[in-house]
Amino acid sequence: MSTLILRTATRYLVPILLLFSIYLLLAGHNYPGGGFVGGLAASAGLALYALAFDVRSARAMLRVTPTTVSAAGLLIATLSGLPGLFKQLPYMSGQWIVLPLPGFDPIKVGTPVFFDIGVYLVVLGVTMSIIFSLSEETK
Amino acid sequence: MSIIVGLLYAAGIFLMQRRNMVKFLIGLALLSHGANLLIFTAGGLTRGHPPIIAEDATLADPLQADPLPQALILTAIVISFAVLAFALILFLRAYQTTKTDDLHDLRSTDA
Amino acid sequence: MNLLLAPIVLPLLFAILALFALHHPRAQRALALAGTGLLAIVSVALLLSVRAGGIVAVQVGHWPAPFGITIVADLFGAIMVVLASLTGFAIALYSIGVHDRARERHGYYPLLLVLLMGVNGAFLTGDLFNLYVWFEVMLMASFVLLALGCEKPQIEGAVKYVALNFFSSALFLAAAGLIYGVLGTLNMADLAQKVAAVEDKRLLTSMALLLLAAFGIKAAMFPLFFWLPASYHTPPPAVSALFAGLLTKVGVYALIRTFTLIFPLEPTFTQPLVLWLAALTMITGVLGAAAQMEFRRVLSFHIVSQIGYMIMGLALFTPLALAGAVFYIMHHIIVKTNLFLVSGVVHYLRGTGELKQLGGFYRAHPWIAILFLIPALSLAGLPPLSGFFAKLTLIVAGLQQQAYLIVGAALGVSLLTLFSMTKIWGEVFWKAAPGRPEPDAPPALEPARLRLMIAAIVLLAAITVVIGLAAGPLFTLAMEAAGQLMNPQPYIEAVLGGAP
């Protein structure tokens, strides 16, 4: 599988896929997209890298183990439910603050975004650990 | 749609009765797709009216699709994806440890 | 209010922390113990507050009731959560004693906590689809726990377990989809109202039967129990104790919840059906157990027959019978877990579970023998232990309903249970040790680890004795829980009656 063409193409494709995944993640609140698809796109990028080069370098690119990624995601998603509690609202109630940005339209940041980031990381971590262990298994 | 659901169920159950592990697994996958489509059909199908309130509108489109079945199916797809991935690896392991892909040979733990 | 979500969020948080500490077994063990201990305290507090203040409900994410996901605790749910948490604590204690390095590295403790989260979620949710999700959370964790270690029997058991449970999940999903299609809601309280308003019950009965099949597989009811004895004895003892205590009981819980709240049993069709299934479950289970000669297989078959008793309480469908079922579940979770833990100790000390090869335990370890005797006699229903009162209630309820056949079955099964418990007692503990010393004696357990394992068993045995001695107050509690089950109106009001 690891031909020169694929390897060269991968070098350009992976950053694009990762960027696109982040776009999907952030667009997810009002448009089609979201943490799940974003995470899948990102893991597609990493999986492509693992195909073109090898699993070890893909692991190295991720820097931390997939388990840690998904644990971090879970933690973020769980904690994103907490802020609502301070306003005497039930767990997971959405909270929003508007951040004014100089020169741009103000953007709304809310707990659902953090929840989505958590989902993104969990999906990425879980998919990568599935793909890594499957491809290491078959060797 | 209902016919497809029926076909998926029939094919899934047929495959689940085979002795081959891989066919069994494919049968499970088909069965879960059948269940997903069933929710979709039972929840009512609408064409071309996504359940998103347009930017300039304040009320939802009265014809809009019911978002709940979609949410349910998305959840169910994610879950069955995870379970299938796990079952795949498990069956692979089972093949490696028992050296057979015939489900009838997995009898040593039966009573 | 926030107490209600704690049994779900707490194990999740600790599981995440334990995931971060995946390569530090010491930290993991501390986290598991702290997490389950805290969980036990919180759940007892929840039970007390539910008992004092009535049913509580939280609309997660502040979405009003029939649309969002509701988490709700009535007495029955709260009792189940307490039991699950206590069992979890004992299992964590025991697992630390077992000290299985390889499994700890692959996430044994996070999985344990996630499993507890799934179980608690299933007990507390007020939404049918959400129940499905919790089932899956619990099942995923249990799949991995079952297969962890990759020994040959484990894998074979896991294949059957995974396949059957996947199938039952698909059935459950289909039932949920159909219910949504017909009634337009999945909130259990809302469903209860809408079902009561529907004139034509035929379609509803078919859905109820789909749910019965789905939960029946998970609860190991009569025609669908064969996966249980094929898989439960394969994983390490702590894991099979956890499964034996909790997993099938979640199926029973779902059955009781569905057939009291959503589809109350109909005397014309579903009630006799469930009653027959209960009787057959009891009898086949105990006969299977009588034929087995391996410690944990005997116990696995007993789970099946005990499930029959609980379903019998549901099928009789009177407040007293339901109270009996609730009481039976309380007693059963604790006792069954404990028996599996004892069998684990025997296994670790002698390296085998075959009854024929064991013996002389009473002479070698009299304390373990007595610790076995408490849950075993309780399981068979000897007074004054917990099982006696549970069975007595069910039988009195059966006599009141003049369901003499099932009462006869229950009494006969009870006798056979006693028989197979004495079989284990005679073979393992009483009989002189087989002459030859074990050819491959397993490495002796360090006393400190054995002490931890024994501590877990003593804890559970103490709870059994307490259930037996405090049967009066606990029985009132069970009666109250059953009263809530038989009269779902307060439940519906708590869920639908405005946001808290």
Residue B81 distance to chain A (closest CA, Å): 10
User: CB C180 to CB B72 under 8 A?
Assistant: yes
Optimal mutation site among C60, C136, C150, C495, interface A, most CBs of chain A within 10 A: C60
Mean pLDDT, rounded, for C98-124: 83
Residue C329 inside a domain? The answer is yes
**Is pLDDT of C63 > 80?**
no
Enumerate neighbours of C (3 or more CB pairs within 8 A). Answer: A, B
Least confidently predicted of B98-107, C246-255, C334-343: B98-107
**Per-residue confidence band for C500, with pLDDT thresholds at 50, 70 and 90:** very low
- What 3-state DSSP class applies to A97? strand
Q: Which amino acid is at C377?
A: L
Residue A67 near residue C110, CB atoms below 8 Å: no
Least confidently predicted of B87-101, C279-293, C430-444: C430-444
Closest C-alpha to C492, from C261, C199, C234, C248: C261
**Is pLDDT of C72 > 50?**
yes
Q: Which two tokens stand for residue B72?
A: 């349910």
Q: Which two tokens stand for residue C372?
A: 């076995």
Residue C111 near residue C141, CB atoms below 8 Å: yes
Residue range C155-211, pLDDT digits in tens: 878 888 888 888 888 888 888 888 888 887 788 888 888 887 777 777 788 888 888
Phi and psi at C243, nearest 5°, equal: -60, -45
Least confidently predicted of A104-118, C105-119, C228-242, C394-408: A104-118
Closest C-alpha to C167, from B92, B25, B90: B25
Residue B88 distance to chain A (closest CA, Å): 9
Provide the domain limits for residue B76: 2-44+67-102
Least confidently predicted of A42-51, A72-81, B9-18, C226-235: C226-235
> Look-up: residue for tokens 């360090």?
C446
CB-count exposure of residue A5 (10 Å: 0-12, 13-18, 19+): exposed
**Is pLDDT of C252 > 60?**
yes
Residue C56 inside a domain? The answer is no
Mean pLDDT, rounded, for B29-45: 83
Residue B22 inside a domain? The answer is yes
Phi and psi at C235, nearest 5°, equal: -75, 175
Residue C310 inside a domain? The answer is yes
CA atoms within 13 A on the CB side of B74: 10
**Is pLDDT of C476 > 60?**
yes
User: CB A134 to CB B89 under 8 A?
Assistant: yes
Q: Which amino acid is at A21?
A: S
Least confidently predicted of A31-45, C95-109, C251-265, C276-290: C95-109
CA distance C391 to C395: 6
CA distance C288 to A56: 50
Residues 8-47 of C with CB under 8 A from A: 9, 12-13, 15-16, 19-20, 22
The residue among A70 and C435 whose pLDDT is bigger is: A70
CA distance C43 to C129: 24
Phi and psi at B10, nearest 5°, equal: -60, -50
pLDDT of res. B56: 65
User: CB B85 to CB A130 under 8 A?
Assistant: yes
Average pLDDT, chain B: 78
Interface contacts (A, B; CB < 8 Å): 10
Interface contacts (B, C; CB < 8 Å): 119
CA distance C411 to C415: 6
**Is pLDDT of C499 > 60?**
no
Q: Which two tokens stand for residue C68?
A: 């969002």
**Is pLDDT of C255 > 80?**
yes
Contact list, C15 vs chain A (CB under 8 Å): 74
Chain A positions touching chain C (beta carbons under 8 Å): 65, 67-68, 70-71, 74-75, 78, 81, 84-85, 89-94
Residue range A36-48, pLDDT digits in tens: 888 888 888 888 8
Phi and psi at A107, nearest 5°, equal: -110, 150
pLDDT of res. B64: 67
Distances in Å between the Cα of C250 and the Cα atoms of B12, C96, C134, C225, C306 are 27, 25, 10, 15, 14
Distances in Å between the Cα of A102 and the Cα atoms of A105, A107, C284 are 8, 11, 74
CA distance A75 to A70: 9
Number of domains comprising chain A:
1
Residues whose CB is less than 8 angstroms from the CB of residue C266 and which lie 6 or more positions away in sequence, other chains included: C201, C205
Contact list, C130 vs chain A (CB under 8 Å): none
**Per-residue confidence band for B106, with pLDDT thresholds at 50, 70 and 90:** low
Sign of the dihedral through C-alpha C244, C249, C252, C254: negative
**Per-residue confidence band for A114, with pLDDT thresholds at 50, 70 and 90:** confident
Residue C170 distance to chain B (closest CA, Å): 6
**Is pLDDT of C327 > 80?**
yes
Helices C152-183, B21-42: axis angle to 10 degrees equals 20
Give the DSSP per-residue string, C397-456: HHHHTT-HHHHHHHHHHHHHHHHHHHHHIIIIIISPPPSSPPTTPPPPPPHHHHHHHHHH
**Per-residue confidence band for C347, with pLDDT thresholds at 50, 70 and 90:** confident
Residue C68 near residue C500, CB atoms below 8 Å: no
CA distance C233 to C352: 12
Provide the domain limits for residue C373: 265-434+445-485
**Per-residue confidence band for C440, with pLDDT thresholds at 50, 70 and 90:** very low
User: CB C62 to CB A70 under 8 A?
Assistant: no
Optimal mutation site among C142, C168, C173, interface B, most CBs of chain B within 10 A: C173
CA distance C456 to C462: 10
Enumerate neighbours of B (3 or more CB pairs within 8 A). Answer: A, C
- What CATH number should be reported for the domain holding residue B33? 1.10.287.3510
Average pLDDT, chain C: 80
Residue B59 inside a domain? The answer is no
CA distance C340 to A79: 37
Residue B32 near residue B45, CB atoms below 8 Å: no
Least confidently predicted of B56-65, C143-152, C411-420, C446-455: B56-65
pLDDT of res. C437: 47
Mean pLDDT, rounded, for A18-34: 79
pLDDT of res. C439: 45
Contact list, A83 vs chain C (CB under 8 Å): none
**Is pLDDT of C330 > 80?**
yes
- Looking at the DSSP assignment, which residues form a beta bridge with residue A98? A108
pLDDT of res. A1: 61
Largest CA distance in chain C: 72
Contact list, C58 vs chain A (CB under 8 Å): 90-91
Closest C-alpha to B107, from C235, C296, C159, C156: C156
**Is pLDDT of B102 > 50?**
yes
Percent pLDDT > 70 in chain A is 73
Residue B110 inside a domain? The answer is no
User: CB A130 to CB B78 under 8 A?
Assistant: no
pLDDT of res. A53: 81
Contact list, C143 vs chain B (CB under 8 Å): 83, 86, 90
pLDDT of res. C91: 87
Phi and psi at C467, nearest 5°, equal: -60, -40
Give the DSSP per-residue string, C38-105: HHHHHHHHHHHHHHHH--EEEEGGG--TTTS-EEEE-HHHHHHHHHHHHHHHHHHHHHHHH--HHHHH
C19, C62, C107: residue with CB nearest A90: C62
With an 8 Å Cβ cutoff, is B87 touching chain C? yes
- What 3-state DSSP class applies to C186? coil
Percent pLDDT > 90 in chain C is 0
With an 8 Å Cβ cutoff, is B109 touching chain C? yes
CA distance C477 to C76: 9
**Is pLDDT of C314 > 80?**
yes
Q: Which two tokens stand for residue C36?
A: 């389950």
Mean pLDDT, rounded, for C76-101: 85
Beta strands C70-73 and C56-59, pairing class: antiparallel
C16, C62, C499: residue with CB nearest A74: C16
**Per-residue confidence band for C401, with pLDDT thresholds at 50, 70 and 90:** confident
With an 8 Å Cβ cutoff, is B28 touching chain C? yes
Number of domains comprising chain B:
1
**Is pLDDT of C498 > 50?**
no
Number of domains comprising chain C:
1
**Per-residue confidence band for C62, with pLDDT thresholds at 50, 70 and 90:** low
Residue C267 near residue C273, CB atoms below 8 Å: no
**Per-residue confidence band for A103, with pLDDT thresholds at 50, 70 and 90:** low
With an 8 Å Cβ cutoff, is B90 touching chain A? no
Least confidently predicted of A31-45, C21-35, C345-359: C345-359
User: CB A137 to CB B78 under 8 A?
Assistant: no
CA distance C80 to C217: 20
A68, A78, A84: residue with CB nearest C13: A78
Percent pLDDT > 70 in chain C is 91
**For chain C, what's the residue count?**
500
User: CB A36 to CB B82 under 8 A?
Assistant: no
Contact list, A93 vs chain C (CB under 8 Å): 61-62
With an 8 Å Cβ cutoff, is B85 touching chain A? yes
- What 3-state DSSP class applies to C306? helix
